[in-house]
Amino acid sequence: MNIEGRNILITGANRGIGAAFVEEAKRRGAAKIYAGARDIDSITADDVERVRLDVTDAAQIAAAADIAGDVHVLVNNAGISTGSPLVTGDEASIRREMETNFFGPLRMIRAFAPVLARNGGGAIVNVVSALSWFATPMTGAYAASKAAAWALTDSTRLELAPQATHVVAVHMGLVDTDMSDGVPGPKIAPIALAGAALDAVESGAQEVLADDWAAFVKSGLNLGPAQRYEQIFAALGG
Task: Name the residues annotated as catalytic.
Answer: 142, 146
Polymer length in residues for the chain: 238
C-beta neighbour count of 221 within 10 angstroms: 9
* 8 A C-beta contact, residue 43 and residue 14: yes
Helical residues (DSSP H) of the chain, grouped into ranges: 16-27, 58-67, 91-98, 104-118, 140-160, 190-203, 212-219, 225-236
What's the CA gap between 173 and 213, in Å, rounded? Answer: 6
H-helix or E-strand spanning residue 50: strand 49-52
* 8 A C-beta contact, residue 36 and residue 51: yes
What's the CA gap between 32 and 5, in Å, rounded? Answer: 8
What's the CA gap between 192 and 175, in Å, rounded? Answer: 10
DSSP 82: -
- The full DSSP string for 137-191 is TT-HHHHHHHHHHHHHHHHHHHHHGGGT-EEEEEE-S-BSSGGGTT--S--B-HH
